[in-house]
Amino acid sequence: PAIKYAEHGFPVAPRVASDWKGWVSKLRNSAGATKHYLPNGGTPAEGDVMKLPALAETLKAIAKNGPKAFYEGSIAQDMASTLAAKGSVLTAEDFAKHRGEVVTPISTNYRGIDLVEIPPNTQGLTALVTLNVLENFDLASLDALGPDRFHLMLEAARLGFAVRDTHIAEPSFMRVPVDALNDKAFAKTLAAKLDRTKRVPLPAAPTPGSDTVYLTVVDRDRRAVSLINSLYSSFGTGICTEKTGVLFNNRGSGFVLKPGHPNTLGPSKRPMHTIIPALAMRGGRCDTTFGVMGAHYQPMGHVQMVLNMFDYGMDIQTAIDAPRAFFEGESTVIERGLPLATVEGLKARGHKIVEAPSPWGGAQAIRIDWDRGVLIGGSEPRKDGCALGY
C-alpha cells in the first residue's frame, strides 16, 4: 500500500495541509525537499493529490531486495552524499552498520494497571516515573478538570522529565539502571518533594541513592499492535535526497553536548528518543493499546490518558478529548477549553500560565472489552485520523 500511495498519490488531509504551509522556507533549503515536497513551488491544498514517485521507486527496491537495498548500495550512497553536502559526518558505512533491535518492554503497575513502555533510549521511562509519583496521591477524589489534579500532574511530570533529562541515553551509557529509576521507593521520595498548594523548586537531576504518526490495531484474535513513527520536527531536518526521495529525520537533536553526560553526542550512540507506543495491561491481558503523538509531550500524554481512563473512569473518546496541559521551562502551557476556575487555581498555586498556540499532542487508542467481546476505538479530534472497525 505504501508503494501504491507514493506512486499514484494520496489526498492531503486538512490538518496536514494547514501545517504544511508553515514549512515552506525550511523545505526550500534542500533541493530534494523542494523537488518532492513543494509541488509547483508551493504547498498542496486540502484535498490535492500528492505523488512521490522517487520514494515509490525506493520502496519498490526495498520490497524486492529487503533492508539491504536501503542500507547498502545506491540508495545508501545517495543518502550519504546528500548529507555530506550539508556537512554531516554520516557515511555509507554507517548506514551499512545499522541494526534494529528487539527489546524487552519496561512497565510499572499503577492502581492495578500495568503500563508497558519501550525502554531507553526512548523516553517511555518518563511516563512510568511520573505515574509512580502520582500513585502516592488520591487523584480519584479530585475534580478531573480541577486545579488540584492538574497541579499535581504537572509537578509530578516536572520530576519525571528531570529524571529523563538526567539519565536516559543509549542503554550501555546509562549510569543508573532503569529498575532503580522505576523503583516505587524512589518515587515516594520524589513525591515527598511536591507541595499540593503551590509550585515549588524541584531537583534538576533527581537520582536514587517531538511530525509523528501513531496507529494502533487489534485483530479478531485480540493481538494488539501499538506503533509509532516519526521524523521528529515537521519534515525532520527538511533535507531530502533528489534521486531517491528520502527525507531525513532530525533525531540527532535529542543528544546533548555537555561533556560527561550519558546522552552526550558520540560514536555508535543513539540519542534520547521521544517516540513511545504504549499498552495498558490488566491481569496479563491487554486492556488498552494507545499512543500520543507530540514529541516531548508524549509521556505527559500517556499520564493524562491513564489518569483520565483509570482514575476518573472516562470512556476512551472522552479521555482523548479532555483538555491538556504541559510545561515549557518555567511556563505552564494550557489548551483552550481548560475551565477558567482551573486556570485561576493554577495561577494561585504559582503557575505562570501560557495558552498553547496549537493543540497538545494527538492520541489514538483501542480498549478491549473482554467480557462483552467488543473493541472500543477513540481518535484524536486535534489531528487527522479516525477510529475504524471492519
Q: Which are the catalytic amino acids?
A: 212
Q: Closest by alpha carbon to 350, among 369, 327, 382?
A: 327
First to last CA, the chain: 18
Q: In whole angstroms, what separates CA 41 from the centre of its chain? A: 31
Residue 226 in grid coordinates? 501499538
d(Cα 21, Cα 248) in Å, to the nearest integer?
19
- Residues 6 or more apart from 251 whose CB is under 8 A from it? 232, 270, 271, 273
Rounded to whole angstroms, the Cα distance separating 114 from 306 reads 10
Taking each helix axis from N to C end, the angle separating 147-167 and 124-134, rounded to the nearest 10 degrees, works out to: 140
Residue 138's Cβ-count burial label (10 Å; 0-12, 13-18, 19+) is exposed
- Sign, CA dihedral 40-44-47-51, equals positive
Sign of CA dihedral 291, 296, 302, 308: negative
C-alpha cell at 213: 504518526
Contact 288, 114 (CB under 8 A): no
Radius of gyration of the chain (CA): 22
In degrees, to the nearest 5, what angle opens at C-alpha 146 toward C-alphas 144 and 151?
105
Question: What angle (nearest 5°) sits at the alpha carbon of residue 388, between those of residues 385 and 390?
Answer: 150
Q: Give kind and range of the element (H or E) at residue 341.
A: helix 340-348
Distance (Å, rounded) from C-alpha 382 to C-alpha 363?
A: 9
